[in-house]
Amino acid sequence: MVDFRLGDEYEELRTSVREFAREQIAPVIAEHYENEKFPYEIIRQMGKMGLFGLPFDEKFGGMGGDYFALCIALEELARVDSSVAVTLEAGVSLGAMPIYRYGTDEQKRQWLPRLTSGEALAAFGLTEPGTGSDAAGTTTRAVLDETTGEWVINGTKAFITNSGTDITCLVTVMAVTGTNPDGSKELSTIIVPAGTPGFTVAPQYSKVGWCASDTHELSFDDVRVPAANLLGERGRGLAQFLRILDEGRIAIAALAVGLAQGCVDESVSYAKQRTAFGRPIGDNQAVSFLIADMDLRAHTARLGYYDAASRMLAGEDFKRYAAIAKLNASNAAMENSRYATQVHGGYGFMNESPVGRFYRDAKILEIGEGTSEVQRMLIARGLGL
């Protein structure tokens, strides 16, 4: 028998995060969003709930759960606000997960307890101003100084989430560390602690959406870190991070589903309360059909990320299914935010309206952690094309 219902532990997690989002995030997030302020108190509460430790082993301060538990939490957070949700997503899947997957025992002991508790955040420096989706086009370089036993890093990274908060403790940087026998770039990942001399965090970007999350350009000018800060195997940096991205696409799909479902929630509530021509606007078939289509998109997108996550946890090849989930869910988020704004009319165009924020937040889901075009390319490759 196929059963898509969640087990008791997952349901308990969903309920607790849903209540937290509605009671603690919803009343205050608009002010943070409008003033582009990072919500430190909310993040601190999420840390106490164990959300940053969901998929990590208890010996590193984690909750001993799995990646699907993280996805459930992300969906529920994003039903209310995506800035908070992406802070968790990036903090776990891009910040802590590379260290958990590829770090030495010493690196794990040094960094993971603070990251899994939410006491600190980590970031991953991949994207550069001139590369975008072309990760192999990385130009940031790291040269090993044999005399001092240090990596010397030079370059610039762009659009890096969680990289400049007061609690950011490190950025893992993708850099060219040599040349492979076939002439291609040797790419490796290196841990750079916050505050390292020569490591500069530019002012916060002014963004269309995710306005309460933290995003910066980073520059590295002769930044020196110990050789032991190499993360994983030298020359395997890109391969390691592509695996991280595959997992992250499932998480972003869950976040997108949350936004899509949030649009349904807000639209149903508004359609019941708002009256026009003497009756609730939800009585009009034109409005009710819009909302029905929104619910269909959210539901089918949810099944997509459930499927991708189940394949990942079963140890199966999940790359194509993660791309399908991410592409479908980001499309659903974009469409639902547009229709939710239409249902709300002029009120939906106001920044104080949740759907106004949803509309602004949705677009980045078609870009971040692999554009929609990249997802289609991955799906086609998975089909042997």
- Sequence-distant (6+) residues with CB within 8 A of 14 are 6, 72, 75, 76
Q: Are 163 and 201 in contact (CB under 8 A)?
A: yes
Q: Quote the CA–CA distance of 82 and 86 in Å, as a whole number.
A: 6
Q: Class of 239-382 per CATH? A: mainly alpha
Tokens representing residue 283 in the block: 């009585």
**Which of 242, 230, 208 has its CA nearest to residue 134?**
242
Q: Which residues pair with 381 in a beta bridge?
A: none
123-234 belongs to which homologous superfamily? Butyryl-CoA Dehydrogenase, subunit A, domain 2 (2.40.110.10)
pLDDT at 133: 66
Q: Which residues pair with 191 in a beta bridge?
A: 172
User: If the chain, 385 residues long, is cut into consecutive pieces of 10 residues, what is the mean pLDDT of each piece?
Assistant: 80 97 96 96 97 96 94 98 98 97 96 97 93 80 96 97 98 96 94 98 96 97 98 94 93 98 98 93 95 98 97 95 98 98 94 93 94 96 96
pLDDT at 3: 72
Delimit the domains of the chain by residue range.
8-122, 123-234, 239-382
pLDDT at 2: 64
Q: Quote the CA–CA distance of 294 and 289 in Å, as a whole number.
A: 9
CA–CA distance from 292 to each of 8, 11, 75, 357 (Å)? 28, 25, 20, 21
Please list the active-site residues: 369
The CATH number for 8-122, chosen from 1.10.287.130, 1.10.540.10, 3.50.50.60, 1.20.1290.10, is 1.10.540.10
Q: Global pTM?
A: 0.95
